[in-house]
Structures are given as structure tokens and as C-alpha cells.
Structure 1
Amino acid sequence: MVILLLVLASTGCDARLPQDEMVGVGITGIDHLPDHLSIQDFWVNGYNAFRAGQGSGTVCCAMLPAHWRPGLTVQVRWEIDNWRDKTYSMHEATVPVERYDEVGRLWVHFLKDGLVRVVSSNYGVPVDHPDNKHPVTDSIPQKEPWKMYPRSEGEPLFREVEDASKEADDGRDH
């Protein structure tokens, strides 16, 4: 092993693998959750993207390789707020980035079934892709849960639970 390293060093060869050129891209979150739930904060590979909504807000920036490669994933972390039950929960997943020919804005779909879909595209809100095993059929609700489920003055903020997307079992009618 030592001899191999000496040979490489003496010939001037670089034994490192080539690095992908990384490109900064905007991040947009799409919230497909029911009206009483919302994504108020999320992160992609540690970059805070703030609130997911209807696809109109974008923050800068996450880093993606200029060229897609098989096995490309991002780490997504998100907070689900349940405005009706006044609870929240944190979630995290390693999510594949769908194939792209040209790197573009990073669209993060938070789906009703708990899955997250990540697409890089320069062409509007991507909804479906022929290679996608989980097509987005969920609508994008037009919602403002903070208006639909207001808090009383002095009422405590959300309390953390294991999964805020599940209905609270506290005897209340929902």
C-alpha cells in the first residue's frame, strides 16, 4: 500500500475522485396537507427553507450537483403544525431527488400520506414526472390555518407530540 502511494505521489497523479460542480438553487416548499395542518418550517441538507405553501415563495439556497446522478438524495427535516389540536412534531427523511436534465429550483412536496417528493425544475410547480413512482395527485390547498384556528389571548403555543398529523385522542370532537 505504501509503495502504491509513493508511486502515485512521484508521478503527479491525483488519486482523488472528481467532484461534481455544485450549484446554488432556490428552495420552494409545496404543502399538500389538510387545512388544519401546515409546514411552518423545513430544511434541506441543513438549509432553512422556512414555511411551505402554495409554491409562490422561494428562499436561497440549497446546493445540488450540476448534473443529476443515480442515488442522489437530500436530507429533509420538517415541522408539522396541527392548528386545530395546537400540537407540532418534527420529522426527518432522506429523500431521492428525481432525475433532472438541467439543475433548477428545488421543489419540496409535502404529501398527505406523509411522503416527501423532491424535484429540481426551472419550469413552474412540477406535479408529475414519468419516472416518478409516487405521482403527486394531492391538490395544493388554499389555506390560512392561523385564521381558521385562532388562539385565544394567553393560550399557550403548540405542544410537541410524536406525530401532529394524527388526530388527538383527548375526547374532543374533530
Structure 2
Amino acid sequence: MNRTFCNLAAAFSMLLLSACTGSGLSTRDADTTYFNASIGPVNHTDQYLYMFSVGKTSSVGASAYGSRNAGSCCVRLPVVYRPGLTVDITYNLLINDGKDDNWKTKIGVPVEPYTESGDLYVHFFPNDRIRVVVSLSGASGSKHPIPYPVNPNQERGDVRK
């Protein structure tokens, strides 16, 4: 039984390590003009973000007025920002108190200018507005380029760390 567990653990580890290569990306790529960025959601709406994807890379969602760390690997971005850089976003903001799916796709969402490599955060706003930023700072960090979501139904306070 112990040997079976070890074999399963090893197989699972290999699966996790190959997640980026399965999407055509490699974390050992010799091309230094690009970097692999993990993706994370930031939800500025009162709906639950069930799931989203950037291109073919999928990630878990975030609660209303919440976020998750950038933990899904990977999208490939140029090390030096290029004007006109865009990504395609598919997302599901649940409606009717979470009872119904509401899948949507936005093609050509601009990536805002960045000066250093980091993680890619997708910010979801009311009325299907989306902003995409690259940041080394997580969504609640004081150096994140977009302020953390504020729930208008709760007492306001600085949630940044």
C-alpha cells in the first residue's frame, strides 16, 4: 500500500509539473524575451465568479468583492511590454443567486502597460468591464496597480497589507 501511495504521489507530481508544458508553454524555455505568468482573479462585482480563463489557461474564480492569488499556470507574455498587447478572457459570473451560469467571452482585452515581469491579474467589474494588469504584488497588496474591491454593503476600511 505504501508503494502504491508513493507511485500515485509521483504521478500526480509529474502531472502538476507538466501543467504549463501541456498548454504549449515551458518554464524551462531558453527564450528570455518572454516569461510565464500565473493568472489570478479579482472580482469587483456582487456576483460569484465561478471560473475564468485567459486564452487556454483556466483558473478558479473568486467570491463577490474578493480575489484569489495568481496560482494557475501559465500565460506567456513578453518581458518588455508591447503596445497593443491583448488577451482573450472567458468567464462565468453566476446569476440568480448562483443558480445559473452566465458564460461570456471578451476578445482582445488590453493588457495594461507593465515595467517588470509578474503575475497576470484579471479584474472583473460591473457591466462586464475587465482590466488586465501584470503585478508582482497580489491583489490586496499596497503596490498592486488597481485598488482592492470594496463591498458597498460592508463597513469600509483599508484591506491592503
Instruction: Tell which structure's C-alpha radius of gyration is larger.
Output: 1
TM exceeding 0.5: yes
1:139 and 2:126 correspond? no
Partner residue, 2:99:
86
Task: Name the counterpart of 1:45.
Answer: 55
CA distance in 1, matches of 2:126, 2:32: 34
Determine the structure 2 residue equivalent to 1:70: 83
Structure 2: which 5+ residue stretches go unaligned?
1-30, 154-161
After superposing on structure 2, the runs of 4+ consecutive aligned residues of structure 1 that deviate more than 3 Å are none
Greater relative contact order (CA < 8 Å, ≥ 6 in sequence): 1
Structure 1 residue 50, shift from structure 2 partner: 1.9
Q: Secondary structure at the match of 2:126?
A: coil
Aligned partner of 1:98 among 112, 128, 134: 112
Corresponding position of 1:121:
135
Aligned-CA RMSD value = 2.7
Q: Deviation digits for residues 106-142 of structure 1, max 9, x if unmatched?
A: 01001023101100011232353xxxxxxx6852689
Which structure's residues are more often helix, by fraction? 2
Distance 1:72 1:20 in 2: 18
| Counterpart Cα distance in 2 of 1:105 and 1:141 | 27
User: Is 1:30 the equivalent of 2:47?
Assistant: no
Give the drift of 1:83. 4.9
Any unmatched runs of 5+ in structure 1?
Answer: 1-18, 129-135, 143-174
Aligned residue pair count: 116
**TM-score with structure 1 length normalisation?**
0.58
